[in-house]
Amino acid sequence: MTLIRGIISRVLNLFGPTPLSRRKALWGLVLIAPNTIGLFFFFGVPVLMTFWTSLQQWNGIQPAQYIGLENFQTLAQDDKFRDALTITLKLVGYTVPAEMVLALGVALLLNIPLRGRGLLRMAYFIPVVTSTVAASVVWTNVFQPESGLLSKIVASTSWADRKWLTDPKFILFPIAAVTVWQRIGFDMVLFLSGLQAIPNVLYDAATIDGANRWQRFRYVTLPMLSPTTFLVMVLAIINSFLIFDQAFIITARFVPGGVLDSATTLTYYMYERAFVDADLSLGYASAVALAQFAIILAITLVQLAVQRYWVYYEAGEAEA
């Protein structure tokens, strides 16, 4: 009897030490239930199926064969996978800082009460909704050597006849540029909404204390904006790891995936394995996707863990 009571109280204690905290815990579970259940059913289940597929040898038509961890063993020795990972990491490195700094800058400027601000904000948002086909035509044209817009602007430098789109040495630059171009608007929207949550009284107080413009930015805007910055950073890193469309925009008219696989990102490699290859293997493609998933997850978990050192929440930390 006491044993059962002990177990019950232990279980109850998991939810909180007092009846009130237990009730709060129950409320929390009820609130998150619809979205969580829906997410796990509609997207979690397919991901679990991907886990299962990764243990199989399956070309999508013949019956699948269970082969254990063989796909992952192959993966560990796959040079192409390693190349794709390197390319992806480089792109993450090129794009994430650039898009965050530029988007924050644009958001700050477009937070100033300017005439025509709405239209300017829209101009920066438009890349998010512009047809990727149009983007492909225009950007490949901009980066075309000799006749492209870029080479006209940099006419007398060594950049003018550089083969941005075909030379494996340079291909990542236009891809990064297009990625940043496309995502500034997205990040700007998040930053703009984050900026509104900073109470004006803080700026007034800082001004009274004699803070100059830079100090107000450094000691009021940045810390108060940190929850949004955290959001943008996590999403930017995830999205850069998943780059697919942008690589396609730049390489589709030449050699999809880049000459000699120079623009084959992880997602593109996975796609190739699953849908393009003559000897395609959905099991192997799933293993690639899961390896990619594991890397992103690890990075995101580190970010979640480290956020307590730099992200300031008005209502106190997320109480881990």
Partner 1 sequence: MLKNKRQLVVLLVVLMISALAAPVRAQDGEELLIQPQPCDEPGTLTMWVWDENWASIIEDSIAAWEADYCPGAEVNIEVTPWGQYWDLLRTNAAGGDLPDVFNMSQTFFYFYADNDALLNLQPYWDEFGVDTSLWGSGLVDPYRWGGNGDLYAAPVNWDTITIFYNMEMFDDAGLDYPTADWNWDDFAVAAEELTVGDVYGAAVYLEYQAGYPNWIAATGTTPIVDAARTACTLDDDGSLEALNFLADLYNDGYMPSISELGGTSADDAFNFWASERVAMITAGSWKLTDAIDQVDFDWGIVQLPQNPATERSRSIVHSVGYVASANTENPDLAANLILYLASDEGQRFFAEGGNVAPANPSPAIQQLWIDSFGDTDLNIQAFVDATQDSQGVTVFDEIWDPINSELVVLIFDLDFPVETAVEEICSVVEDELP
Partner 2 sequence: MNIPLIPVWMASHVVAAGLGLVGTRILFASRNRSPSKGRILGLVIGLVGGLTALFLFWLALAYMVSTRTWAHMAAGVEPPLFSYHPARLFAKPGHILVYAILIAGAVVMLLPFFWMASTACKPPAETNRVPIKWLPDNPACRENVDLLYEQSPQFNRYLRNSALVTLGRTFGQFVTCSLAAYGFARFRFPGRNIIFALCLALLMVPFQAIMIPEYILIRDLGWLNSFRALIIPGTFSAFALFLLRQAFMQIPLELEEAATIDGANPLQVLWHVTLPLSVPALAAFGVITVQAAWNDFLYPLVVANSQNTRVVTIGIALLQGERRTPWNLLMMGSLVATLPMMLMFLLLQRYFIEGIAMTGVKR
Applying CB under 8 A, does 131 fall inside the site for partner 2? yes
Closest CA to 102 of 191, 42, 167, 6: 191
Considering only CA atoms, give the Rg of the chain. 25
Applying CB under 8 A, does 61 fall inside the site for partner 1? yes
Applying CB under 8 A, does 69 fall inside the site for partner 2? no
**Dist. CA 249–CA 243, nearest whole Å:** 11
Q: Which stretch binds partner 2 (CB under 8 A): 16-24, 65-73, 166-174, 250-258?
A: 16-24
Question: 71-85: buried (b, 16+ CB within 10 Å) or exposed (e) per residue?
Answer: beeebeebeebeebb
- Residues within window 178-207 making contact with partner 2, judged by CB under 8 A: 181, 184-186, 189-190, 192-197, 199-201
Amino acid in position 285: A
Token pair in block for residue 175: 């891809």
Find where tokens 């259940």 sit. 37
- Residues within window 93-122 making contact with partner 2, judged by CB under 8 A: 106, 109-115, 118-122
- Residues within window 237-266 making contact with partner 1, judged by CB under 8 A: 253-257, 259-260
Applying CB under 8 A, does 160 fall inside the site for partner 1? no
Partners of 259 in the beta sheet? none
Applying CB under 8 A, does 216 fall inside the site for partner 1? no
Applying CB under 8 A, does 86 fall inside the site for partner 2? no
Residue 167 binds which entry of partner 2, partner 1, none, CB below 5-8 Å type-dependent: partner 1
In the chain the beta strands, taken as DSSP E runs, fall at: 56-57, 65-66
Q: Minimal distance in Å, beta carbon 152 to partner 1?
A: 15
- Residues within window 269-308 making contact with partner 1, judged by CB under 8 A: 272, 274-280, 282
Crossing angle (nearest 10°) for helices 79-109 and 222-241: 150
Q: Minimal distance in Å, beta carbon 183 to partner 1?
A: 23
Q: CB-wise, 205 or 276, nearer to partner 1? A: 276
Residue 230 binds which entry of partner 2, partner 1, none, CB below 5-8 Å type-dependent: partner 2
CB 60 within 8 Å of CB 285? no
CB 254 within 8 Å of CB 166? yes
In angstroms, what CA-CA distances link 250 with 49, 88, 138?
32, 15, 10
Applying CB under 8 A, does 166 fall inside the site for partner 1? yes
Q: Minimal distance in Å, beta carbon 1 to partner 2?
A: 25
Site size toward partner 1 (CB under 8 A) is 31
Applying CB under 8 A, does 15 fall inside the site for partner 2? yes
Q: Binding residue for partner 2 (CB under 8 A) from 98, 242, 252, 255?
A: 242
CB 160 within 8 Å of CB 145? yes
Q: Binding residue for partner 1 (CB under 8 A) from 140, 267, 281, 307?
A: 140
Q: Minimal distance in Å, beta carbon 198 to partner 2?
A: 8
Q: CB-wise, 50 or 74, nearer to partner 2? A: 50
Sign of the Cα pseudo-torsion (208, 211, 214, 217, in order): negative
CB 111 within 8 Å of CB 195? yes
